[in-house]
């Protein structure tokens, strides 16, 4: 069986994760880190601290007959770090933009991120929109249909997820991996890509 190593650098652009101080007792921002944790470690920590700067994680998954390796940047949502975003999305193959279905304003910030990615991001970047916290349907503020229509209008992947209940997390990443063109046909450009291509040998050693 032929196994090819793919490198996919996925970036999480997050909108501002400042939550309004409503009656909400939920302990996270929109839940970017929770989504990554669920995907990488298959765990969920309700008391997760806000990310500082950015956090880098990797995860290898088998998709059909290929191993796909995700290099994931989980970036902080705070305003202070906002201008660092280009550093992460510059070399990325995909971006997941997360909003919180229980907070209308997080969906508006999301649109700004999409705009920024379209203007300054890599031309072929795959954009995925994740409406997190779909377990909190009772306090929903963003209608699934509105978000879906918006996502379709910009040709983005759309799912509603719940990191807490592990809903649609793996599906989200599989869909991304399906959409990213394989590295053979579309090699990453510039020196950045070279650096990435060296990565597999490194990881192979550490995971065996």
Q: Which residues bind other proteins (CB under 8 A)?
A: 16-21, 24-29, 33, 36-37, 40-41, 47-57, 74, 76-85, 87, 105, 195, 199, 202, 206
Contact criterion met (CB below 8 Å) for 12 and 98 = yes
d(CA 201, CA 114): 34
Closest approach, Cβ 82 to other proteins, in A, equals: 7
Closest approach, Cβ 170 to other proteins, in A, equals: 18
- Residue with Cβ nearer other proteins (75 or 151): 75
Closest approach, Cβ 80 to other proteins, in A, equals: 5
- Residue with Cβ nearer other proteins (19 or 126): 19
- Residue with Cβ nearer other proteins (99 or 158): 99
Closest approach, Cβ 199 to other proteins, in A, equals: 8
């Amino acid at each position: 069986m032929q196994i090819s190593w793919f490198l996919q650098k996925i970036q999480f652009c997050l909108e501002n994760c400042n939550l309004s101080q409503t009656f909400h007792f939920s302990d996270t921002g929109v839940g970017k880190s929770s989504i990554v944790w669920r995907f990488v470690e298959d765990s969920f920590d309700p008391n997760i601290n806000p990310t500082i700067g950015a956090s880098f994680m990797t995860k290898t998954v088998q998709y059909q007959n290929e191993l796909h390796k995700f290099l994931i940047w989980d970036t902080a949502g705070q305003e202070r770090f906002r201008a660092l975003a280009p550093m992460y999305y510059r070399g990325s193959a995909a971006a997941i933009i997360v909003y919180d279905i229980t907070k209308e304003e997080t969906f508006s910030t999301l649109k700004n991120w999409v705009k920024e990615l379209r203007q300054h991001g890599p031309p072929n970047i795959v954009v995925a929109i994740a409406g997190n916290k779909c377990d909190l349907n009772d306090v929903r503020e963003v209608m699934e249909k509105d978000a879906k229509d918006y996502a379709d209008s910009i040709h983005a992947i759309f799912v509603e997820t719940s990191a807490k209940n592990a809903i649609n997390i793996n599906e989200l990443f599989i869909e991304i991996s399906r959409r990213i063109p394989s590295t053979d046909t579309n090699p990453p450009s510039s020196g950045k890509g070279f650096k990435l291509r060296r990565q597999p040998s490194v990881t192979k050693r550490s995971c065996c």
